[in-house]
Structure 1
Amino acid sequence: MAAVVLLGDINIDLVLDIPFYPPEGGEGIATHQTVALGGSATNTAIALARSGHEARLIGRIGADAWGRQALSDLVGAGVATRWIGEDPAEPTQINVVTVGASGERTMFAYRGANAHLAPDDIAESAFEGVALFHLSGYALLQAPQSQAACRAIDIAAARSIPVSLDVPGGVASTIAGKVLSLLPKLDMILLDGADLPRLLHRPQGSDLEPMLAALLAGGVRRIALKGDGAASRLCRREGTDSAPWFSTAAVDTTGAGDAFAAGHIHGSLTGLSGPDCCRLANAFGAVAVTRKGAGIAMPGLQDALQLMAR
């Protein structure tokens, strides 16, 4: 299998199951609590490592117990951690994730050490012999991490390494300017259909096709689109492929998009066709929503293949 570099957040998730959301000033009494490793790039790295790839994660943790736990979990999951730095002042990021009765998650976060990843923290050695560089859009939220992300993209471009970018739900408007400026350097962008108008500053409900065409005209070569009706889509200038979603009972949607990204990355690196890439990505995401939390609960290739076989 291939070596993949990933850059993004490393955090600890405090996941609380709540039966309903209280009004401001009220109280939401959780029915279940989980503390686990998380972070968009972290989740994708674990899914890729469990699929046989060498996943090299670039990130930053605090000099605290949570950071040590994160490193231990990453090593246990088979992720290469030598490019993860330790911040002497900022803590490891903690996310409070609430999961409602439908399985949908809502996240509150202090980005801590992650946001302090600097350009000088990006070692070119991480990119030696690498087949793909994957960037989480959270890394574009604020400097110096956003500057570090751009340096990593430039290193990848200089080595002709394809770059994929996952645009997380909820931050598309915030990072839109940076994303659009990076389009010529991207091989693939992954995002939800509902985030397309936010990314392009169009009214909600706008026709997807002109927006997809605008992204492709901006230079990106492939668009992996989640949340597009009953199917996911992989759009290129020469045409569009798709595959229907799998029907599973959602327990927790945390990490589903990160798993979806891992499926597309694996499919791309192993030469799968467009429809097969979509189907595999859908299977990764479908397995993820049947599990509590993300991190070490992330699926691998065999989990996805078992679902597809059923």
Structure 2
Amino acid sequence: MTQCSTQHPDTATGAQGRVVVVGSLNMDLVARVPRLPVAGETLAGYTFTQVAGGKGGNQAVAAARLGAGVAMIGCIGRDANGASLRAGLLAEGIDCAALGESASAATGVALIVVDEAGRNSIVIVAGSNGALTPEDIARHEALLGSADVVVCQLETPPETVAAALAAGRRLNKTVILNPAPATGPVPREWLALVDYLIPNEVEAAALTGLPIGSPQEAAAAAAALREQGARNVLITLGAAGILAATEDGTMHLPAPKVTAVDTTAAGDTFIGAFAAELARRSSFDTAVRFAQHAAAISVTRAGAQPSIPTRHEVQAFAV
């Protein structure tokens, strides 16, 4: 991977605290349909849009809009999609000095189908996200050292995720891991490096092998993940809220009541908002509530990054 020549200082006006996101950037190709198709079915859609996405990019944009200074470590392709994604991050005031370019792989894409209830089905083609290496993490250790919070997901190579988690712990940063997409358990040694493990219910079930159909079952899964080494576990349950298992105990936090239009990037919005609040030195309770309000707003809007609210919008929503 080569470095892109564009550099942008962290100039988010009024930003407090700093978040560094290590992760993916995708161009989302979104089709809206009456219902999710079944295997082998051809289904007529209503609309098609192309919007910026990728879990890493979404979480970086969320953290920036919600009050943090943000830097992104990732990799795009040398193509129109990559140029568009980089320009979008820069427009949000995100530091792109560590955003590299692959000379051989196209920018990642996500194929997203959204039904009338706001539920989605997603297929990801990693592309250039697969070119982010542990050597890139080592090269940007000074940037990681400037962070208050380091955020990772699983849309980049496992060895790169492991390097980022280890660097965050070694540098004594608050480390968040969003284990998405998860198809099975992550290495236990990773969990010991994580301050906040934040899966959704599907991911938590994949990590533990336990069924999750209720907050009570989520509490059992969260307890299992803490036993495996994660310090704090937050399982996002969509409209059912959050199940939080921390060093201070376990609690179920219901979600604000809204009418969902599109749940794409709701989890990413939650994580970006939570990271931004932790970077501001907010309490855990304050950070979770703020993140829940941000995610609630996001599901009332279509798209990934277009749905993410600003800090002012969240503050007004919470009144």
TM-score (norm 2): 0.87
- Once the 2 structures are TM-superposed, how far is the Cα of residue 166 of structure 1 from its aligned partner? 0.9
Please give the alpha-carbon distance, in whole angstroms, between the structure 1 residues aligned to 2:258 and 2:239. Answer: 16
Say what the alpha-carbon RMSD is for the aligned residues: 2.0
Q: Give the aligned residue type for 2:149.
A: L
- Once the 2 structures are TM-superposed, how far is the Cα of residue 296 of structure 1 from its aligned partner? 4.1
Distance 1:273 1:162, change over 3 A: closer
Deviates more, 1:153-162 or 1:283-292: 153-162
Determine the structure 2 residue equivalent to 1:135.
Answer: 152
Please give the alpha-carbon distance, in whole angstroms, between the structure 2 residues aligned to 1:108 and 1:195. Answer: 15
SS at match of 1:43: helix
- Residue 156, structure 1, aligned to residue 168, structure 2: yes
SS at match of 1:48: helix
Distance 1:204 1:256, change over 3 A: closer
Determine the structure 2 residue equivalent to 1:75.
Answer: 90
Distance 1:228 1:114, change over 3 A: closer
SS at match of 2:237: strand
Please give the alpha-carbon distance, in whole angstroms, between the structure 1 residues aligned to 2:38 and 2:250. Answer: 43
Which ranges in structure 2 are unaligned for 5 or more consecutive residues?
A: 1-15
Distance 1:274 1:129, change over 3 A: closer
SS at match of 1:106: strand
SS at match of 1:137: coil
- Paired positions, count: 300
Match of 1:186 among 183, 194, 211: 194
Determine the structure 2 residue equivalent to 1:287.
Answer: 297
- Once the 2 structures are TM-superposed, how far is the Cα of residue 25 of structure 1 from its aligned partner? 4.4
Please give the alpha-carbon distance, in whole angstroms, between the structure 1 residues aligned to 2:287 and 2:113. Answer: 31
Is the CA contact 2:175–2:195 (under 8 Å) kept in the aligned structure 1? Answer: yes
Is the CA contact 1:57–1:83 (under 8 Å) kept in the aligned structure 2? Answer: yes
Is the CA contact 2:68–2:280 (under 8 Å) kept in the aligned structure 1? Answer: no
Q: Give the aligned residue type for 2:130.
A: A
Is the CA contact 1:164–1:188 (under 8 Å) kept in the aligned structure 2? Answer: yes
- Once the 2 structures are TM-superposed, how far is the Cα of residue 147 of structure 1 from its aligned partner? 1.3
Is the CA contact 1:234–1:274 (under 8 Å) kept in the aligned structure 2? Answer: no
Residue by residue over 1:99-133, the C-alpha shift from the partner in whole angstroms, topping out at 9 and shown as x without a partner, is 01111111122110101211112221221321011
Determine the structure 2 residue equivalent to 1:225.
Answer: 235
- Residue 15, structure 1, aligned to residue 30, structure 2: yes
- Once the 2 structures are TM-superposed, how far is the Cα of residue 237 of structure 1 from its aligned partner? 2.6
Determine the structure 2 residue equivalent to 1:89.
Answer: 104
Is the CA contact 1:244–1:279 (under 8 Å) kept in the aligned structure 2? Answer: no
Q: Give the aligned residue type for 2:56.
A: A
Determine the structure 2 residue equivalent to 1:251.
Answer: 261
- Residue 307, structure 1, aligned to residue 302, structure 2: no
- Once the 2 structures are TM-superposed, how far is the Cα of residue 190 of structure 1 from its aligned partner? 0.6
- Once the 2 structures are TM-superposed, how far is the Cα of residue 219 of structure 1 from its aligned partner? 2.4
Distance 1:95 1:231, change over 3 A: closer
Which ranges in structure 1 are unaligned for 5 or more consecutive residues?
A: 140-144
- Residue 208, structure 1, aligned to residue 218, structure 2: yes
- Once the 2 structures are TM-superposed, how far is the Cα of residue 134 of structure 1 from its aligned partner? 0.4
Please give the alpha-carbon distance, in whole angstroms, between the structure 2 residues aligned to 1:244 and 1:165. Answer: 22
Distance 1:21 1:149, change over 3 A: closer
- Once the 2 structures are TM-superposed, how far is the Cα of residue 160 of structure 1 from its aligned partner? 0.8
- Once the 2 structures are TM-superposed, how far is the Cα of residue 62 of structure 1 from its aligned partner? 0.7
